[in-house]
Structure 1
Amino acid sequence: MKSVVIQQPEVLVIEDRPVPQPQAGEVRLRVESAGICGSDVHIYRGHNPFAKYPRVIGHEFFGRIDAVGEGVDASRVGQRVVGDPVVSCGHCYPCSVGRPNVCTSLQVIGVHRDGGFSEYITLPAKNAHIVPDSIPDREATMIEPFTIAANICSQMNPGPLDVALVYGAGPMGLTSIQALRGVYGVKEIIVADRIDERLAMAKENGADRVINNTDIDLTAELAKLGIRPTLIIDAACHPSILPEAIGLASPAARIGIMGFSSDPCVINQQGITSKELSIYSSRLNSNRFPMVIDWMKSKKIHPEKLITHQFDYAQVIEAMEIFEKDPKFCCKVLLKF
């Protein structure tokens, strides 16, 4: 089989590898399509501290089960499925309280173990979620990105009284906007980004108001508009955002942080406690695949709006460079296998 392998930072090759055999409790997928995420590019560039090399990347993947291991019902062969990349132990404290995404022995497919940029992949049977026929293949590949939005929203519990501010109109921000609008029905969605084309995407995906904050003081702009956000999602993940969000949030607001930054930021404790703010962090997803599949079935979200490019897997370097270097017009890139 052909597999996309990062042998070491900046060295990507397409290798011939043996087709893997599913172990007990596993299924094997014939991968049909996979999505490129920023974390894939980070592994390629050597900027992901969790990755070990060599590594087959890819944690957004869809295909059909073509073999099962011992203990797995043979009737699963032929099922259309999408893979949850979160592989957890099932018995540590986080797992026991429904937080497998921060399992003490967490393995992420495509990061800690080989991923879906390959013609075949094996994974635990419980991680292979059936995709209804009503969801097209391309959209099925987008289930995993929407689980990231589902995870943060499930923690923050948005509702029709909320005025939401989303920092960043990249894929994480856009999936969050769609969820806030189509699933949770928030009162108003404001989006801040520094790229006009991304802000246009935000409008297309459900934002009510967009602000290019390249040269604008966002706090002053929102004050001028009389807006005090009650729910803030940081999908841009810059260390300057959290202190600003704390300052402009409404009393009793919730703030959600979606990404990783190792750079320090300075926050004011009084700013948090005086308004009794709740701050949430979110990593990957905690069993959100059934939720997102239901969203797609009921047309509450529209993943096709985010797919801007598609390539054959043999063009993976070109695809990743477009994803990395064309933020104005590129959102989600799919690879066909």
Structure 2
Amino acid sequence: MKALVINQDKPAHFTEIAEPQCNESEVLVGVEYVGLCGSDLNTWRGGNPLTVYPCIPGHEIGGVVLQVGHGVRSCKTGDRVVVLPCTECGACSACLSGRPNACQFNQTLGVQRQGGMVKKLVMAANKVLVCNSLNSQQLALIEPLSVGLHAARRAQINVGEWVVVMGCGVIGLGVITAAASMGARVVAIDIDPRKEAVAKACGATQFINSQTEDVAALLGKLNDGHGPAVVIEAIGLASTIEQAVDVVAFAGRVVYVGYAKKPVTFDSARFLLKELDIRGSRNATVTDFRAVIALMEQNRYPVEKIISAYYPLDQADQAFTRWAADPGSITKILIEL
């Protein structure tokens, strides 16, 4: 069967690979849609330090069960499923503390393991969630939205708090919807004015264009002049990672779901004097996936605004080229298999 393969030193290309076979504890998934992630784009550019090349990308997967192993009872042939793309070792400190999403030895589909840009994929039965109430396009959005929801949970948001979300990619939109569903007043920030409509459709009450407006001045007016209680950074730039500490209120919380590609310098006195809680957020848990599915079933996500374009598998390489040429025009590309 056909698969898209990315090599670090040459353009993406298609190749034929053997069809997978599932054992008694596995499920054969017919992949119907795969979302392209920023990590996939970085892999395509050759700049993802976590990727094991050559790599079949793709970890945002919606599909249908084609076959189940003899020992599988959690799903059946014909069920629609979303794939849980990360592994956990069960023995590291993160796993032992009940946070397998932060497993020290995690391997993600399309990064350290061959991914889902193929028509058939074998997964362990506990790595698929059945959801027959949603279509496969919606299911392909669940993973990145779950990463956003996990970041919002890490912030421990209270009803009525001002929450600032930096970045309106799909993960940022996942944060916005989750924070709004928790009762927060959400301010979205992005450099591209084309993201305003989708951010507000996800639940943001205010949008700030950081290219044309004074972010610090506007955020300083929130909460009777105290500033936002929570800032969640979903961009991964050194400048915005540093800015989050500057603009959050005293005794506030900062959550980083984006990571910079170079070292970040903090004024330690700033976050000590403010007595900030600064937290990282990585991947998502099964509970997060189920929560996003529930929100999706309630039509809390503007799917038609989130999906920017569809490409068939045989044009997946062209999708990367288009996205790289104008990142601001793309929120999410789905590859149709």
Tell me if TM exceeds 0.5: yes
| Structure 2 match to 1:191 | 188
| Structure 2 match to 1:81 | 81
RMSD between superposed Cα atoms in Å: 1.9
For residues 309 and 227 of structure 1, the distance between their equivalents in structure 2, rounded to whole angstroms, comes to 41
1:30 aligns to what SS in structure 2?
strand
One-letter identity of the residue aligned with 1:35: G
One-letter identity of the residue aligned with 2:182: Y
Greater mean alpha carbon deviation, residues 50-59 or residues 238-247:
238-247
Please, which runs of 5 or more residues in structure 1 have no aligned partner? none
One-letter identity of the residue aligned with 2:101: N
One-letter identity of the residue aligned with 1:160: V
| Structure 2 match to 1:208 | 205
8 Å Cα contact 1:234-1:256 kept in structure 2: yes
* C-alpha deviation, 1:184, in angstroms: 1.1
TM-score, structure 2 length as denominator? Answer: 0.92
8 Å Cα contact 1:10-1:45 kept in structure 2: no
| Structure 2 match to 1:22 | 22
One-letter identity of the residue aligned with 1:193: D
| Structure 2 match to 1:328 | 328
1:272-287 residue pairs with structure 2 within 5 A?
A: 272-287=271-286
For residues 75 and 252 of structure 2, the distance between their equivalents in structure 1, rounded to whole angstroms, comes to 48
1:103-142 residue pairs with structure 2 within 5 A?
A: 103-133=103-133, 135-142=134-141
For residues 242 and 336 of structure 1, the distance between their equivalents in structure 2, rounded to whole angstroms, comes to 35
One-letter identity of the residue aligned with 1:15: T
8 Å Cα contact 1:27-1:67 kept in structure 2: yes
1:66 aligns to what SS in structure 2?
strand
Matched, 1:223 2:197: no
| Structure 1 match to 2:45 | 45
8 Å Cα contact 2:68-2:75 kept in structure 1: no
| Structure 2 match to 1:160 | 159
One-letter identity of the residue aligned with 2:83: G
1:41 aligns to what SS in structure 2?
helix
* C-alpha deviation, 1:39, in angstroms: 0.6
Cα shift readout 1:62-110 (whole Å, capped 9, x = no counterpart):
1112123453239622221110111112233211222212223211111
For residues 303 and 142 of structure 2, the distance between their equivalents in structure 1, rounded to whole angstroms, comes to 8
TM-score, structure 1 length as denominator? Answer: 0.92
One-letter identity of the residue aligned with 1:213: S
Cα shift readout 1:261-285 (whole Å, capped 9, x = no counterpart):
1312221222222222111111111
Matched, 1:169 2:180: no
* C-alpha deviation, 1:137, in angstroms: 2.1
For residues 315 and 192 of structure 1, the distance between their equivalents in structure 2, rounded to whole angstroms, comes to 32
Cα shift readout 1:271-309 (whole Å, capped 9, x = no counterpart):
222222111111111222222112222333333330111
For residues 204 and 75 of structure 1, the distance between their equivalents in structure 2, rounded to whole angstroms, comes to 34
8 Å Cα contact 1:259-1:283 kept in structure 2: no
